[in-house]
Structure 1
Amino acid sequence: MSEAFFDKKEYKPLDRVDGRLKVTGAAKYSAEYALPDMTYAVLVGSRIAKGTIKSIDSRAAERSPGVLGVISHVNAIKVPGYQPKGEHPSEPSTGGQPLRVFFDNKIYSNDQPIAVVVATSLEKARHAASLVKVQYNKEEHKTDFDAHTADAVVPASAKKNPKSPTADYDRGEAGAFDTAPYKLEAEYLIPTEVHNPMELQAIIAHWEADDRLTVYDKVQGTKMTQKNFAKEWNLPEENVKVITTFVGGAFGNGLHNWPHETAAIIAAKQVKKPVKLVLTREQMFTMVGYRPRTWQKIQIGATKDGKLVALNHTSIGQTSSYEEFTESTLRQTRMMYASPNVSTRYRLLPLNVATPIWMRGPGEATGAFALESAMDEIAHAIGMDPIEFRLKNYTESDPDKNMPWSTKYLRECYDIGKEKIGWDDRKLQPGQVKEGAWLVGYGMGTGTFGANRNAATVHAQLDADGRLVMHCAITDIGPGTGTAMVQIASNETGIPTERISFHLGSSEFPAAGLQGGSSTVNSVGPAVMAACRSLKEQLITLASKGAPAFVSAKPEDISLENGQLRLAGKSSATLKLAELFSQARVEKIETTQESKPDENRNKYSMYAFSMHFAKVHVHPATGQVRVKKIVCCADAGTIVSPKTAASQMIGGATGGIGMALTEEAVIDHRFGRYVTKDLADYHVPVHADVPEIEVHFINKPDLVADPVGSKGLGEIAIIGVAPAIANAVFNATGKRIRELPITPDKLI
């Protein structure tokens, strides 16, 4: 993006406010806190995928030097929230319940935590864990998704609520596909993908008293975690403190509280010392969720001139045998294109695996691969350019909810991306363009995600020196939350960004929801605006007592510059903050403001949109795919932090490359055990795989969605990238790959 992109009234690029802390090592992550008398825990995982524990022999481990305890279902204290019937306190409405660690001898999946060893050092704990001997009553397990798709079931949420997003959906005529002039029926498969952030999942659990718990925990919601652990241990919420000041990357697995966290809390309670537990990279594959393996079938019917007649989409997603996990795989199909007849069917397949969890672009990224690939396929069958085909079926309002869009500028995204990728060089027939020995292909994919907003509260304090300090419980998993909030506050007040600080990541701060679902700026940003407005109202009240020019002023009329209160349009009307505070005999002013969605949102359908274009090279002899360029354009409302927003899009596109070309978690079904359990075997994109990624923003506010005008960006950064690459591979080779990842063996 050029500097000309940013008009003077728009937000300017800003370096991350916490960047120096991170690059110098001063930022403190969950495993880096040093508490007196710290102990270290290592989990022992099950070596079978289904059955029961016959016996645990921990004698050798208990005698090992430095060991303070070996805890399992045999001797673990009972978690109060599980009693008396054994339900998990966070039992979801979608069916089943989260795994109750150390509750009984039942085994549901391979590497399920069955014991924890606590010692005076990590090395001693790790050695002792290797000495724990377990005997099992093994039962026949089911981990082979493809062999058991017939066992898929209707989700419990759909059974309970016919209007649930997971319920069967029909619009128009059910049999319209059968009589369509042009028809496509195709199946698509996405493998299990695993969260692999740089920072491993980690927790330090510390019982400061029998009824007071503090955890330093890698999570995406301090308030949610506080509430869950308070329920789990029958404690008042104020007696549970959750600290998550920095997070070293997360893609959704911090949106759930996992068994290893409760295991650490149990251990700390039993050894009566702080316990640190950090998962290994291998355990990240089995204990903290993943994008579920998903099979999809799409039927598309269209007319010769490119009008959709019917769109049917069926999906089967993997879940655990004890807890149902659902996601929005079919949402985009219902609302993206103007088909008069749409049917969707969502099913779950329970297997002997751990529970999946939301992974960046949850559901929508999965569904978009099938939908956007199928749209490309039917356009090719008709002989129509895929962009022209999409524009023929462009929706001017939401056909699913029958509501107007709050805003939608997807046409502009098509135009920008088409120009920047060089779409005019694309040929309708595959395999027609070459650069040297390489076949060249162009592809595109559309993405969408809800413009979500939650309630949030911010405390703000302004001192006489013109320094603004804010506090909020929201976490930051990497997008630059503090940077965005500082920019909003600076725009609202006129205070330079270097004189503003935003503190986050503690449950003791004012309440905010999860950092997930692309909702942070949309939720916390309005609370920052409200707090800034409140401070300005207080300043007007103070100023009007001695300066008549300020008597009728409104918050939008004043700004704070160089330690002075200035009235817009009257350069002579200024007051030094220090003098104003001195006259009022106050050292600071402060406010706590909550902002939450209003009823006006209910009148509109609110989504963020993205358009991704890819240019690829494919070697005809080896099947190697090289992504040469990606262009991303987002209709995400107001872009509050242009620099970190661009970084978000680049990161999402990089994840999309992994989704399309490299990522796949493979299970050896003989044992129900992952073969790919480290970053040597599970391949994520590296620098050599990531080309130039060009980012553009429409940057038009959506003030229906929220007062900031933002619509969310984190999810649409990846949704649509994988099909863009798959479609480009087809355009280069004429080979349609419907099962990810697109590896050379599928092209040769």
Structure 2
Amino acid sequence: MKTPEKQIGARMNRVDGRQKVTGAATYSAEYQLPGITYAVLVGSTITKGRITSIDTKAAERAPGVLAVITHFNSPKVPGFDTAGKDPSQPATVGGPIKVFKDDKIRFNDQPIAIVVADSLERARFAAGLVKGQYAQEKHQTSLEAAKSQAFLPTSAKKNPKHPMNDYQRGQVDAYKTGAIKLESEYVVPTEVHQPMELQAITAHWEAPDRLTIYDKTQGTMATRRDFAREWGLPEENVKVIATYVGGAFGNALHSWQHESAAIIAARVVNRPVKLMLTREQMFTMVGYRPYTWQKLGMSATPDGKITAITHEAIGQTSTFEEFTESTLAQTRMMYESPNLTTRYRIASLDVNSPIWMRGPGEATGAFALESAMDEMAHLLNIDPLEFRLRNYTEQDPEKNRPWSSKFLKECYQLGAERVGWNKRQLKPGSLRDGDWLIGYGMGVGTFGAHRGSSKANIRLLPNGTVLLQSAVTDIGPGTATAMTQIAADTLGLAPEKIKFELGNSNFAQAPTQGGSAIVNTVGPAVQEACLALKEKLRTLAASSNAAFASAKKEDVVFAEGYLTLNGNPAARVPFADLLQQVDGGFVTVESKPQGNASKNYSMYSFSVHFAEVRVHALTGEVRVSKLVSCADAGTIVNEKTAGNQMKGGAVGGIGMALMEHAIIDDRFGRYITKDFADYHVPVHADSPDVQVAFVNKPDPYVNALGTKGIGEIAIIGVAPAIANAIFNATGKRIRELPITPDKLLV
């Protein structure tokens, strides 16, 4: 019998690629339900205060308008009275602020009304007729002005072991007494999620107690839970569909006010309601990477051993929710330092809540840490790669545990060779090509190799194909493709014989897609479901063929229409005979993480990014001419889609380093940058052909597949690599992102 080709590790094309490029894929705003209506949100024109009146008469009389809903006439939502009163708790269903619940304005463009009509054009026209009147109050939207009011998050105050608490190893602020020391401040500005697919929802009350929503979400089950609580419904009465998601970087991890508004509107008009945010509303209504100020002090010996690090950060949050992120996590565990201090604070501003953005916290913190590493290497006149090697951690210094695996040194070697690191000069400005200054820089990234619990449904169909189902979504990394490969390898079937359905909350339980944890979590569930199916079929086959009774489940093979055994092709039972014995259902298997492994080992993925930049000496224009990203992410299930992940993160890092900056006019609390004309993101001309390399060595403890995670480490460390390369080219150290030509020409 021919041995099936191994699928894990193959460069397989995306199983849903054809649907996406031909337009056959249906996204949340594309569902056409009978009686569909269209909604448009109206936002506040002030930043803080109270609504005194809303004139809706002209809008209500406009052609095709079915309803205009405000806090004056919105129906009562049961969960609004009981949920979200504690701002220290992470937000669900829009957080402690509830849409159309009261007259308070807490941020600019906060939804104050929703207009529903029989066409999008009519809804948009009528929305322009809604006029709000306000009693305006003084607002504060500047973190720099509010730094002195920053505070320790309430969750940290309540729990001494909370990761947001102050951390101490050795002496406090010991860098201040170091012989060779530096102290620098760094700023990462507000950056906004701008995926291709706008945030959208189609809400449909199929019955007074049964709700179906087609939603742009990263977690069908979390969204189901949120809105079941909001409306006081059993979770099984709420169905969330997100079969296709057109990109997401974290903003779809949250249930937002526009979703609640659409569901309220569908309740009022008793018809399905479709609502899609505008590009401008994506800046104001669905989160962003928070503006963060950082200060980092470091000391070292003349031979390049770090003696102390102090890393402090203040991030912005809203007045109605305490948003926190792991800005200081990488500093506590990446490098050897006998003395280490971290302090994290947040400052409340009159803005909408931030939300996790790819590489949440770590991408921000790495800009300060990896820039400071480069600064210290320059002070010591040591190559930055050599400086990192001299302070390499062989075990986790924060938790005092061994790594489950760590092949960062291999990443260093792969990346340095590919970028041509040997051409880098210690003295900045030494390399030149005409008017272009050439420089090289590097930055390291890490993120936890998280694994949760998950389930998978599996069924053998009469035609010999296998159907797998999971509630997980796919925000772009190729989840269905990876799961198909895992199933194909486990079952010994060709990938085209496997169908993986996802993005439906009625499917088997799965986590929200985020935090680089899906392959680690859903992958083992798929693997175990496949093994369980083989065992079930082996047991059924044993009743009619004795050879199967003593066989091991790993010896069971799926052949053309038959179940057979490795080494004994004569032992075979037709699928049709086996299916007659199955009670029509799926085999459902739950996979849980190994408890002891996570307690005994520190589990992380690692990356290093090397950048070559060219800076025009006269204009300050920066071009990233080469970018090499190397990852230690355990077993690589699909090198092609994993490479896509790394390239996407690298491009995001170029945007973070050189162009992304959401600017608020603090006089009015309103964004100036609210479209792609003013808020710049990288395009093809800004991005080199990113080279990607994987160590591709399995982690023995995270899961049986040996995977770790890629999504976050793809961007963590890219921005400082570019900033460090710019310094190497020009001798100018820019500590506030983005690095635009005006900063280089000063």
* TM-score band, normalised by shorter chain: over 0.9
More deviation, 96-105/323-332:
96-105
Q: Secondary structure at the match of 2:205?
A: strand
Superposition map of 1:416-435 within 5 A: 416-435=414-433
Q: Deviation string for 1:138-196 (max 9, x for gaps)?
A: 11110122222111111111111111111111111114212212101000000100000
Q: Secondary structure at the match of 2:143?
A: coil
Q: Which of 623, 627, 643 is 1:646 aligned to?
A: 643
Superposition map of 1:581-620 within 5 A: 581=578, 585=581, 590-600=586-596, 601-620=598-617
Partner of 1:695: 692
CA distance in 2 between counterparts of 1:647 and 1:270 reads: 44
2:618 equivalent to 1:621: yes
Q: Which of 11, 14, 17 is 2:12 aligned to?
A: 14
Query: For structure 2, which runs of at least 5 residues remain unmatched after alignment?
Result: none
CA distance in 2 between counterparts of 1:200 and 1:383 reads: 48
Q: Secondary structure at the match of 2:145?
A: coil
Partner of 1:726: 723
Q: Deviation string for 1:182-217 (max 9, x for gaps)?
A: 101000000100000000000111111111111111
Q: Deviation string for 1:75-127 (max 9, x for gaps)?
A: 111110122xx643897625994321111010011000011111111111111
Q: Indicate how the Cα distance of structure 1 residues 229 and 561 shifts in structure 2: closer, same or farther if over 3 A, else same.
A: same
Amino acid at match of 1:146: E
Q: Secondary structure at the match of 2:589?
A: strand
2:349 equivalent to 1:351: yes
> CA offset at residue 566 of structure 1?
4.2
Superposition map of 1:172-571 within 5 A: 172-568=170-566, 570=567
Q: Deviation string for 1:387-420 (max 9, x for gaps)?
A: 1111111111111111111111101000100101
Do 2:537 and 2:578's aligned partners in 1 also have CA atoms closer than 8 Å?
no
Amino acid at match of 2:379: A
Amino acid at match of 1:488: I
CA distance in 2 between counterparts of 1:465 and 1:274 reads: 37
Do 2:636 and 2:696's aligned partners in 1 also have CA atoms closer than 8 Å?
yes
Q: Indicate how the Cα distance of structure 1 residues 13 and 561 shifts in structure 2: closer, same or farther if over 3 A, else same.
A: farther
2:724 equivalent to 1:746: no
Q: Which of 114, 117, 120 is 2:115 aligned to?
A: 117
Q: Secondary structure at the match of 1:354?
A: coil
Superposition map of 1:629-708 within 5 A: 629-708=626-705
Amino acid at match of 1:728: A
Q: Secondary structure at the match of 1:309?
A: strand
CA distance in 1 between counterparts of 2:87 and 2:29 reads: 28
Q: Indicate how the Cα distance of structure 1 residues 273 and 89 shifts in structure 2: closer, same or farther if over 3 A, else same.
A: farther
Q: Secondary structure at the match of 1:643?
A: helix
Q: Deviation string for 1:125-144 (max 9, x for gaps)?
A: 11111111111101111012
Do 1:464 and 1:577's aligned partners in 2 also have CA atoms closer than 8 Å?
no
TM-score by length of 1: 0.96
Partner of 1:54: 52
Q: What is the root-mean-square deviation of aligned Cα atoms in Å?
A: 1.7
> CA offset at residue 336 of structure 1?
0.5
Q: Indicate how the Cα distance of structure 1 residues 737 and 621 shifts in structure 2: closer, same or farther if over 3 A, else same.
A: same
Q: Deviation string for 1:28-51 (max 9, x for gaps)?
A: 000000111111111000000101
Do 1:659 and 1:740's aligned partners in 2 also have CA atoms closer than 8 Å?
yes
Amino acid at match of 2:384: P
Q: Secondary structure at the match of 1:285?
A: helix
> CA offset at residue 510 of structure 1?
1.0
> CA offset at residue 11 of structure 1?
2.0
CA distance in 2 between counterparts of 1:238 and 1:106 reads: 34
Q: Secondary structure at the match of 2:460?
A: strand
CA distance in 2 between counterparts of 1:28 and 1:655 reads: 26
Q: Secondary structure at the match of 1:134?
A: strand
CA distance in 2 between counterparts of 1:589 and 1:575 reads: 23
Partner of 2:97: 99
Q: Secondary structure at the match of 1:731?
A: helix
> CA offset at residue 422 of structure 1?
0.4
Q: Indicate how the Cα distance of structure 1 residues 245 and 572 shifts in structure 2: closer, same or farther if over 3 A, else same.
A: closer
More deviation, 169-178/646-655:
169-178
Q: Which of 703, 706, 717 is 1:709 aligned to?
A: 706
Amino acid at match of 1:640: V
CA distance in 1 between counterparts of 2:40 and 2:50 reads: 21
CA distance in 2 between counterparts of 1:720 and 1:65 reads: 53
2:734 equivalent to 1:737: yes
Do 2:173 and 2:340's aligned partners in 1 also have CA atoms closer than 8 Å?
no
Q: Indicate how the Cα distance of structure 1 residues 43 and 10 shifts in structure 2: closer, same or farther if over 3 A, else same.
A: closer
CA distance in 1 between counterparts of 2:573 and 2:545 reads: 12
Do 1:638 and 1:701's aligned partners in 2 also have CA atoms closer than 8 Å?
yes
CA distance in 2 between counterparts of 1:412 and 1:441 reads: 23
Q: Indicate how the Cα distance of structure 1 residues 14 and 735 shifts in structure 2: closer, same or farther if over 3 A, else same.
A: same
Do 1:90 and 1:228's aligned partners in 2 also have CA atoms closer than 8 Å?
no
Q: Deviation string for 1:666-707 (max 9, x for gaps)?
A: 111111100000111100000000001111111111131112
Superposition map of 1:61-100 within 5 A: 61-83=59-81, 87-88=83-84, 93=89, 97-100=95-98
Percent identity of paired positions between Structure 1 and Structure 2 = 62
Amino acid at match of 1:742: I
User: Aligned pairs, how many?
Assistant: 738
CA distance in 1 between counterparts of 2:739 and 2:105 reads: 34
Q: Indicate how the Cα distance of structure 1 residues 175 and 589 shifts in structure 2: closer, same or farther if over 3 A, else same.
A: closer
Do 1:466 and 1:577's aligned partners in 2 also have CA atoms closer than 8 Å?
no
Partner of 1:3: none
CA distance in 2 between counterparts of 1:122 and 1:443 reads: 49
> CA offset at residue 580 of structure 1?
5.0
> CA offset at residue 745 of structure 1?
0.4
